[in-house]
Amino acid sequence: MHEITEGLERLPTQIAYDQHVDFFVMGRHKDVSRGSVSGLGVIIERSDGGKAKPIAAASDTTESTHYRALLTGVLSSLEWAAINCNQGTLKCIHSSEEAIYLHLPKGIKKWVTEPERQNRKLLAKIDALLDSILNVNFKRLRVDDPRYLEAKKLAEGAADRRASQSVTSNEAWKLEPEHPEFDADTEMLRRNALAKDP
């Protein structure tokens, strides 16, 4: 079982087949004195207007890389969809990285058969979910899209918080239940909206 799975949000009812869900995935990586730290951020938007908690997690194992953070974001998005979406619900994963939106959908079937392929086990989990979940597609996320900045802030915040720990936790991916920077931005937008209210 993937490390983040247990902490993912469970909605009271599955999202209907005639709706769609968009996942905006970001991975960040930074070198620190004790090694390396990666963070991931996923913003989730539902077409039915319902709320969805963003996903943020960090890792400081020796395998922590930018690409692995991106793949883990994709895997977490697919797992969220498997839990919360009807099979007919359209699911779209957005990434600014060609490795995800362009090469992953085309190359994954070949990659999982290559014994020396880096991240092969992680790719195999993604491949299995792509086989079992219907209506998944991938799209390019433009850097001027507000969701790009939101997901980037989540990923960087998760990586920064893990990097600030004085010792290596050596945890593969620890899901963050709270996202202070996301909540602060949401509160600021809410206050701005109220201030403009006549």
What's residue 177's pLDDT?
53
CA distance 12 to 93: 23
In a domain, 117, yes or no: yes
Region 113-136: mean pLDDT is 94
CA distance 120 to 139: 23
What's residue 34's pLDDT?
67
Report the SS3 class of residue 130.
Answer: helix
Q: Is the pLDDT of residue 92 over 90?
A: yes
Question: Which residue segment(s) compose the domain that 120 sits in?
Answer: 11-196
What's residue 193's pLDDT?
44
CA distance 146 to 151: 9
In a domain, 2, yes or no: no
In a domain, 31, yes or no: yes
What's residue 181's pLDDT?
46
What's residue 182's pLDDT?
45
Task: Please tell me the pTM assigned to this model.
Answer: 0.83
Q: What is the CATH number of the domain that holds 32?
A: 3.30.420.10
In a domain, 4, yes or no: no
In a domain, 163, yes or no: yes
Please state whether beta strands 20-32 and 90-95 pair in parallel, antiparallel, or not at all (unpaired).
parallel
Count of structural domains within the chain: 1
